[in-house]
Amino acid sequence: MLTSFGIINYLSAQSGPWWKVFYDFTSLTKNIDASLHNTMSPFWTTVTELVIVGVLFILFYAVIGLFLVYAERKVCAFIQNRLGPNRIGPYGIFQTVADLIKLLFKELIPIKNADHFLFNLAPYIVIIVNFMVLAAIPYALGVHAIDLNIGIFYVIAVSSMSVIGVLLAGWSSNSKYSLLGAMRSGAQIVSYELSVGLALATVVVLAGSMQLSVIVEGQRTGWFIFKGHIPAVIAFVIYIIAGTAETNRGPFDLAEAESELTAGYHTEYSGIKFAFFYLAEFINMFIVASIAATIFFGGWMPLHFGANNGFNRIMDFIPPVIWFFGKTFFLIWIIMLFKWTFPRLRIDQLLTLEWKYLLPINIVNLLVMAFIVLMGWHF
């Protein structure tokens, strides 16, 4: 109610047409904040704002999750010469909703001899970690829940916590398949975390800041993948590979490895707890893609070359929200193509790829980038 109050206030105060809000959310959020301050004490304002943001994020999480599951099935069907979901709703768009309802009503099978506390805790850890990362991503101008000055550092630190959930799930299930899957996942995520971190650090060197809003703003005169030319492209390729590995998706889905470990660490989970893991995987993919979009492709920043020319102004007509989600979903599409094209790696090959190839290349790349920035050879 209060929010709608704020929105109405804001809209009536606006001089331009209502859709102007999509270009800049800053004044909208400021308006809501101001109207809340008018009606209640600062403490309750903060509480209300937290609740509003929380609810919005839960909604956003669910919508993105459902959409990605649907998108994955359609992309996979497209590659595999199939139709994919096409029965429920036009083009099967409500298929995932139906699946979700099914999963909600399914029985949660209690596992004998499992460590029940940890078993139940594990899916929530994975989900909570997801939320914590989602909060730090700038979705559009002014749509940014927390803008930490160590934004990238925070994202890396928090997202590596999801391995705890996976390990707990595998350990507490008291199943041998699960344990093997969890151990693989542990080795995998911990290793690839390094590459993700170093690839992002390469761009941090170029941007000169860890704050995500500053990084996005720094790309007003050109995205970093163009500005940083060769080292940035190498960093992007490494990031996409390592990011795919970090989300436990094919060809790096060893933790699940259907043909080896049936379902890996979540073999013993059923119903909505399984759905949490399933959803977390998709949201992880979204996170990886959105971070890549933010760091390398300018986040919500439209495609700009140089400063203040006609081309930039034409690009500015497309709202930042569309830029952000367009880039993110394009990268998600690429990650999906990986999964449906490549066979799976073996665990030792996976670790070899990381420690013997990606990591050395990454370190050299970081030095090259530092040198380039030092010499001012970037655009």
Per CB under 8 A, residues contacting other proteins are: 76, 79-82, 176-177, 180, 184, 250-251, 253-254, 257-260, 262, 340-349
CB-nearer residue toward other proteins: 39 or 80:
80
Indicate the residue among 140 and 187 with the shorter CB distance to other proteins: 187
Separation of alpha carbons 313 and 307, rounded Å: 10
Nearer to other proteins by Cβ, of 70 and 154: the residue is 70
Q: Do residues 198 and 366 make contact, with C-beta atoms less than 8 angstroms apart?
A: yes
Torsion from C-alpha of 83, 87, 90, 96, nearest 10 degrees:
-90
Residue with Cβ nearer other proteins (58 or 79): 79
**Smallest distance from other proteins to CB 204, Å:** 31
The Cα 186–Cα 261 span in angstroms is: 15
The nearest distance, CB 113 to other proteins, in angstroms, is 12
**Backbone φ, ψ for residue 277 (5° rounding):** -65, -40
Is the Cβ of residue 227 or residue 344 nearer to other proteins in the bound state?
344
**Shortest distance, CB of residue 178 to other proteins, whole angstroms?**
11
Query: Which of 352, 354, 347 lies closest to 185, judged by CA?
Result: 347
d(CA 108, CA 105): 9
CA 372 to chain CA centroid, nearest Å: 29
Q: Least distance to other proteins from the beta carbon of 65, Å? A: 21
Residue 290 tokens, joined: 């959105």
- Residue 251: asked if its preceding bond is cis (omega within 30°), the reply is yes
Q: How far is CA 121 from the centre of its chain?
A: 22
Decide whether 9 or 86 has the Cβ nearer to other proteins: 86
Smallest gap from residue 287 Cβ to other proteins (A): 23
33: part of which helix (H) or strand (E)?
helix 26-39
Shortest distance, position 268 Cβ to other proteins, whole Å: 14
Angle of helix 271-296 relative to helix 176-207, nearest 10 degrees, comes to 20
User: Which is nearer to other proteins, 203 or 336 (by Cβ)?
Assistant: 336
CA pseudo-torsion sign 266, 268, 271, 273: negative
Minimum CB distance to other proteins, residue 9 (Å)? 52
DSSP 372: H
- Residue with smaller CB distance to other proteins, 5 or 340: 340
Residue 143, SS3 per DSSP: strand
Rounded to a whole number of angstroms, the distance between the first and last alpha carbons of the chain is 48
To other proteins, the closest distance from the beta carbon of 282 in angstroms equals 17
Q: Both tokens of residue 375?
A: 């010499």
Q: Rounded to the nearest whole angstrom, what is the least distance from the CB of residue 24 to other proteins in the complex?
A: 43
DSSP letters, 196-239, are HHHHHHHHHHHHT---HHHHHHTTTTS-HHHHTHHHHHHHHHHH
Phi, psi of 102 (to 5 degrees): -60, -45
User: Do 229 and 378 touch, CB atoms closer than 8 A?
Assistant: yes
229, with CB counted inside 10 A (0-12, 13-18, 19+), is middle
> Residue 99 or residue 256: which is nearer to other proteins going by CB?
256
Instruction: Return the number of the residue (34 or 79) whose C-beta is nearest other proteins.
Output: 79
